[in-house]
Structure 1
Amino acid sequence: MKLLVWHWGRRGGGPLFTLRLAAALGDIPGLNVRLSLAGGAEILAGAAAPLCGWREPTYDNALGYAVQRLTGPLVRGRVTRRLMEDRPDFAICAMPALLDPRMTMALRRAGIPYAMVVHDAAAHPGEALNFRIMGQWRQQRDARVLFALTRHVEDALRRQGFGGPGQRVVKLWHPPISLGAMAPVMAHGGPPRLLYFGRLLPYKGLDLLAEAMERIAPDVPLQLRVCGDGPDSPGLKRLRAMPGVRVEQRWVGEEEVPALLAWADAVVLPYQEASQSGVAALAIAAGRYVLATEVGGLPEQLAGVPGASLCAPTAAAIARGLIQLTVDLAGAAMLAGGRGPVDASADWAAMAQTMLAALKPL
């Protein structure tokens, strides 16, 4: 059986998730898996770039995107010819991206069915991606299988009318994403280090995090690092003014992420809404503690995970959770070695088998 696994986004967690998924499927005997990523994907830069047989030219900026959309009909012919040459039995979109219609229209023209991994069933509050979600809805409508990463997303898809005759909605999960070896928590010998990492958008709860930090007594030993790309906000300004808080308002490149996680002892997710979290998947694999709010699919993703705790999405509850984290991390420092990275390969292998079982009868 020949599979094509694609994602044409350049930055963020999409290329890494796609690479891990393609590798897990490729380890199944009898499967021939081809990987397609955006030619400008960060993960393909440098000498350690993974093998990728199909690097699709995409865009670097808004003007480049407009040009790609204008030349779409010409490009689709090239993509169709490539599909006809490779002739996969099935294609899987590992994460939606803006130029996916180029692939899905070519797949329909070539008579090749496709499935989609659905990370979000709707735009989050404050996101300027409603147009993208609308395009994603059209792609989901024509997919033979929709793979949801949490029950939260699965339920939303079914409420939207997906999963009718000729289409399946199958619930998966988000496996941990390992970035290699790193020192165990508290190996640095200083006060606990807490990390907020990701997009700096309103629904991510930066205002809640700022208020929570203001509730914590100054003698509680902790360092907080806030790192990510996004617009300025009142919550971010309050955090920037606090002692013991370091704010890095910038894009974090792919090559920087392992060192960022290695610096941290715990990752804080003060979200007001979430489908699931790629940052949590990285933190779990790295053996870092996690404090997250009980919203969306986070309770399901973190259920039973050692070192993970949940709290209500309020400043008071987050403050209590942060204080408890410092206690837990101080205890971890007294243990021999503390917690370190975990092996996530079995989790990815199990998910790949579940996906294959959903595809085979089709």
Structure 2
Amino acid sequence: MQIEEVMSKPLKTLIWHWGRRGGGPRYTLELARVLATRQDMEIYLSLSRQSEIYADFECVQSAGRFDINTYEGILQFGLRSIRLPMLKRRFARYIREQKIDVVFCTMDHLWGAFLVSAIRDSDAVYLLTVHDATRHPGEDQGQRRWLLRRDINASDSALVLTRSVGLSLQANYSYPADRVFLSAHGHFGDGSVNVEVRSLPTDRPVRLLFFGRILQYKGLDLMLEVLPLLRREFPGLQLEVWGNGDINPYQSAIEAVGGVRVENRWIEESEIPQIFASTDLGMLPYREASQSGVVATAFALGMPCVATPVPGLCEQISDGVTGIISNGFGAAEYAEAVARVLRDPVLYTRLSQNCITVTKTTLSWDCIGQSVVDALRGAYAKGKRGKEN
């Protein structure tokens, strides 16, 4: 079938994600919802039955499903990994029988690198969403790094959520620039809820929010240096830390600073709206980042963010418009960026309004969906790497 003929018909797209928890399944669901409503797309799904939101995909009208059992725990992972050769054959057969045009992986998975040859050997084009071109410090184990590299090298085109990730792909993998397509990180909240513009609280202390996995690159240690500096001007200032990860390296600093609420555990999706609603300002003192789902979530709930000048974060947060970018990575510089918001209630409210506006426009799932459709059709037009049309 010629490309021109396919481009005039719905593009047969297999949306593939076998993750179980966290942002991957939710990102996949939101994209599947919006793509399934389009007349120019024919959507198929491949999901893990162990996904914590597996039942939510019942609302997605798909042309077919290739769902599998993945694993719950290390023992199941080991036992079921033995079956990967058989699973690869089944996966290849499904792609072939359904005449899939594009296999669209929404997030890399530990098993993905072992199955990509099934796509390479088919007529389908492989579009991989690359959330991170390199593993972050703290999760950069050799095996995971090898799996990511294998997956990226097997892809025909890449979808990235910030330009900085696209540039990293080109620098670290010699990835062709014309095969990198740009989208954005959407929010996972209820888009039907009317979010009110925020004001700085006057009846209680301001609460700063550090949210997400606790890993070294996210700079919780820097945040704990910053808090005493801020309290010189804002004595009642509070910090809340919500997320799983190793809190032990920070425990003594937390106790020394005082006035820090710590919820060191996996945070369920149902808890997130209330956590953000009861706090006031998002803290991202990161040392590096590709992009952040925390930013998208905060914006959707009208919460401005303060971040360090990491390129990926600078693309998400417009300085002085939806948040503040510090002038550097030091404690004094970050403290001054936070203080800039706390000193100016009018600025805070304006930032909040802009966050809501951006969420409803350029970060809406309809807008993101269009960018993904453009990437899918662009990837198909480019064809397989090494077999350009």
TM tier relative to shorter chain = 0.7 to 0.9
Deviation larger for 22-31 or 191-200: 22-31
State the match for 2:3 in structure 1: none
- Trace 1:135-284 onto structure 2 (pairs within 5 A): 135-164=147-176, 168-180=178-190, 181=193, 182-186=195-199, 189-217=203-231, 219-284=234-299
1:175-227 deviation per Cα after TM superposition (whole angstroms, max 9, x unaligned): 33140225543487533222111110111101100100122225434322101
Q: Identity over the aligned pairs, expressed in percent? A: 32
What secondary structure does 1:75 align onto? helix
What secondary structure does 2:128 align onto? strand
Does the CA contact (< 8 Å) of 2:162 and 2:315 recur in 1? yes
Q: Which of 64, 76, 81 matches 2:93?
A: 81
Deviation at 1:70, TM superposition (A): 1.6
CA distance in 1, matches of 2:102, 2:57: 29
What secondary structure does 2:298 align onto? helix
Over 6 Å off, 4+ runs: 333-339
CA shift in 2, pair 1:356/1:290, >3 Å: same
Q: Which of 20, 23, 27 matches 2:37?
A: 27
What secondary structure does 2:257 align onto? coil
Please tell me whether residue 38 in structure 1 is matched to residue 48 in structure 2. Answer: yes
CA distance in 2, matches of 1:191, 1:107: 55
CA distance in 2, matches of 1:228, 1:185: 24
CA distance in 2, matches of 1:127, 1:335: 33
Deviation at 1:242, TM superposition (A): 3.4
Q: Which of 268, 293, 306 matches 2:321?
A: 306
Q: Which amino acid aligns with 1:116?
A: L
State the match for 1:351 in structure 2: 371
State the match for 1:11 in structure 2: 21
State the match for 1:125 in structure 2: 137
Deviation at 1:239, TM superposition (A): 2.5
CA distance in 1, matches of 2:38, 2:23: 24
Deviation at 1:107, TM superposition (A): 2.2
TM, length-normalised to structure 2: 0.82
1:79-137 deviation per Cα after TM superposition (whole angstroms, max 9, x unaligned): 23333333311111111111113542332344322111111111222224432221121
* Ranges in structure 2 where 5+ consecutive residues have no aligned partner: 1-10, 384-389
CA distance in 2, matches of 1:232, 1:105: 40
What secondary structure does 1:55 align onto? coil
What secondary structure does 1:127 align onto? coil
Does the CA contact (< 8 Å) of 1:37 and 1:56 recur in 2? yes
CA shift in 2, pair 1:263/1:73, >3 Å: same
CA distance in 1, matches of 2:58, 2:158: 29
What secondary structure does 1:163 align onto? coil
Q: Which amino acid aligns with 1:298?
A: L
State the match for 2:116 in structure 1: 104
CA distance in 2, matches of 1:187, 1:49: 40
Deviation at 1:3, TM superposition (A): 0.3
CA distance in 1, matches of 2:135, 2:16: 22
Q: Which amino acid aligns with 1:185?
A: R
Q: Which amino acid aligns with 2:84?
A: G
1:296-318 deviation per Cα after TM superposition (whole angstroms, max 9, x unaligned): 31112223683311112211112
What secondary structure does 1:3 align onto? strand
CA shift in 2, pair 1:259/1:143, >3 Å: same
CA distance in 2, matches of 1:187, 1:317: 22
Does the CA contact (< 8 Å) of 1:9 and 1:15 recur in 2? yes
CA distance in 2, matches of 1:307, 1:336: 7
Deviation larger for 94-103 or 199-208: 94-103
Q: Which amino acid aligns with 2:164?
A: H
Does the CA contact (< 8 Å) of 2:101 and 2:380 recur in 1? no
Does the CA contact (< 8 Å) of 2:179 and 2:379 recur in 1? no
Deviation at 1:329, TM superposition (A): 4.7
Q: Which amino acid aligns with 1:224?
A: L
CA shift in 2, pair 1:225/1:106, >3 Å: same
Does the CA contact (< 8 Å) of 1:107 and 1:114 recur in 2? yes
State the match for 1:321 in structure 2: 337
CA distance in 2, matches of 1:334, 1:3: 41
Deviation at 1:50, TM superposition (A): 4.8
Deviation at 1:28, TM superposition (A): 3.1
TM, length-normalised to structure 1: 0.88
